[in-house]
Structure 1
Amino acid sequence: MFHRGPAFTAVTALLTAVLCTGATAAATTELSGTIAIPCAAGVLEQDTAWYLPDGEPTGLIWLQHGFARTNANVAALATAFAEAGYLVFAPSLPFMNFSGCTLQNLGDNTAFLRNVTALFGGAGDATGPLAASLADAARRAQRPAPALPTDLVFVGHSAGAEAVLFVADLLRALHPETWTALRGLVLLDPVRSFIGDNIDRALISLDATQLPVLSISAPPSACNSLGLGTLAVRSRLHRPFVGVELQAGAHTDAEGESSDLLGELMCGTPSAVNATAVRTLALAWTHDYMTGTNTSDYYPATAGAPIAAAPTARVLTGS
Structure 2
Amino acid sequence: MRIPRSASALSATVLAAAVLAPAPAHAAVTRIENTVQIRCAFTTQNQSSDWYFPAGTPKALVWLQHGFVRANDHVADLATEYAEHGYLVFAPSLPSASIFGCTLQNIGNNTDYLDNVADLFGKAADPADKLGRSFSDAKTRAGRSGLALPSAMVFAGHSAGGEAVPYVANRLRTAYPQAFARLRGLVLFDPVKSFVGDNLAGALDGLKTTSLPIQAVSAPHGTCNNSGSGTSTLQDRLDRPFLGVRLTTGAHTDAEGASTDGVGTLACGTPKAPNIAILQTLATNWSDGYLTGSPDPAYYPGGAYYDGLADIETLS
Report if TM-score (shorter chain) is over 0.5.
yes
Aligned residue in 2 for 1:292: 293
User: Which range is displaced more, 293-302 or 139-148?
Assistant: 139-148
For 1:160-199, what aligned pairs fall within 5 Å after superposition? 160-199=161-200
Report the Cα distance in structure 2 between the residues aligned to 1:114 and 1:145, rounded to whole angstroms: 30
Aligned residue in 1 for 2:95: 94
Aligned residue in 2 for 1:213: 214
Report the Cα distance in structure 1 between the residues aligned to 2:294 and 2:98, rounded to whole angstroms: 41
Q: Identify if the C-alpha distance between structure 1 residues 59 and 26 changes in structure 2 by more than 3 Å, giving closer, same or farther.
A: farther
In the TM superposition, what is the alpha-carbon distance from 1:86 to its structure 2 partner?
Answer: 0.7
Report the Cα distance in structure 2 between the residues aligned to 1:190 and 1:145, rounded to whole angstroms: 36
Report the Cα distance in structure 2 between the residues aligned to 1:306 and 1:256, rounded to whole angstroms: 21
Superposed CA deviations along residues 10-47 of structure 1, whole A, max 9, x for unmatched, are xxxxxxxxxxxxxxx86110001100000000000000
Q: Normalising to structure 2: TM-score of the pair?
A: 0.89
Aligned residue in 2 for 1:21: none
- Return the letter of the residue paired with 1:112: Y
Q: Identify if the C-alpha distance between structure 1 residues 240 and 35 changes in structure 2 by more than 3 Å, giving closer, same or farther.
A: same
SS of the residue 1:270 aligns to:
coil
Residue 307, structure 1, aligned to residue 291, structure 2:
no
For 1:98-137, what aligned pairs fall within 5 Å after superposition? 98-137=99-138
Residue 267, structure 1, aligned to residue 298, structure 2:
no
In the TM superposition, what is the alpha-carbon distance from 1:143 to its structure 2 partner?
Answer: 5.1
Report the Cα distance in structure 2 between the residues aligned to 1:267 and 1:256, rounded to whole angstroms: 12
SS of the residue 1:307 aligns to:
helix
Aligned residue in 2 for 1:60: 61
In the TM superposition, what is the alpha-carbon distance from 1:60 to its structure 2 partner?
Answer: 0.3
Report the Cα distance in structure 2 between the residues aligned to 1:102 and 1:29, rounded to whole angstroms: 28
Report the Cα distance in structure 2 between the residues aligned to 1:142 and 1:151, rounded to whole angstroms: 22
Q: Normalising to structure 1: TM-score of the pair?
A: 0.88
Report the Cα distance in structure 2 between the residues aligned to 1:197 and 1:145, rounded to whole angstroms: 42
In the TM superposition, what is the alpha-carbon distance from 1:138 to its structure 2 partner?
Answer: 3.5
Report the Cα distance in structure 1 between the residues aligned to 2:305 and 2:298, rounded to whole angstroms: 10
Aligned residue in 2 for 1:245: 246
Give structure 2 stretches of 5+ with no counterpart.
Answer: 1-25
Would you say how many aligned residue pairs link Structure 1 and Structure 2? 291
SS of the residue 2:306 aligns to:
coil
Report the Cα distance in structure 1 between the residues aligned to 2:208 and 2:89, rounded to whole angstroms: 26
Is the Cα–Cα contact under 8 Å of residues 26 and 84 in structure 1 kept in the other structure? no
Is the Cα–Cα contact under 8 Å of residues 36 and 46 in structure 1 kept in the other structure? yes
Report the Cα distance in structure 1 between the residues aligned to 2:143 and 2:60, rounded to whole angstroms: 23
Aligned residue in 2 for 1:10: none
Report the Cα distance in structure 2 between the residues aligned to 1:75 and 1:114, rounded to whole angstroms: 25
Q: Identify if the C-alpha distance between structure 1 residues 152 and 76 changes in structure 2 by more than 3 Å, giving closer, same or farther.
A: same
Aligned residue in 2 for 1:282: 283
Is the Cα–Cα contact under 8 Å of residues 106 and 194 in structure 2 kept in the other structure? yes
Aligned residue in 2 for 1:150: 151
Q: Cα RMSD (Å) of the superposition? A: 1.7
- Return the letter of the residue paired with 2:213: P
Report the Cα distance in structure 1 between the residues aligned to 2:237 and 2:166, rounded to whole angstroms: 12
Report the Cα distance in structure 2 between the residues aligned to 1:236 and 1:224, rounded to whole angstroms: 18
Is the Cα–Cα contact under 8 Å of residues 32 and 48 in structure 1 kept in the other structure? yes
- Return the letter of the residue paired with 2:135: L
Is the Cα–Cα contact under 8 Å of residues 157 and 254 in structure 1 kept in the other structure? yes
Is the Cα–Cα contact under 8 Å of residues 134 and 145 in structure 1 kept in the other structure? no
Superposed CA deviations along residues 171-226 of structure 1, whole A, max 9, x for unmatched, are 00000000101000000000000000000001111111100000000000000000
In the TM superposition, what is the alpha-carbon distance from 1:56 to its structure 2 partner?
Answer: 1.3
Is the Cα–Cα contact under 8 Å of residues 218 and 245 in structure 1 kept in the other structure? yes
Report the Cα distance in structure 1 between the residues aligned to 2:211 and 2:30, rounded to whole angstroms: 34
In the TM superposition, what is the alpha-carbon distance from 1:92 to its structure 2 partner?
Answer: 0.3
SS of the residue 2:100 aligns to:
coil
Is the Cα–Cα contact under 8 Å of residues 298 and 305 in structure 2 kept in the other structure? no
For 1:19-58, what aligned pairs fall within 5 Å after superposition? 27-58=28-59
In the TM superposition, what is the alpha-carbon distance from 1:140 to its structure 2 partner?
Answer: 4.4
In the TM superposition, what is the alpha-carbon distance from 1:247 to its structure 2 partner?
Answer: 1.5
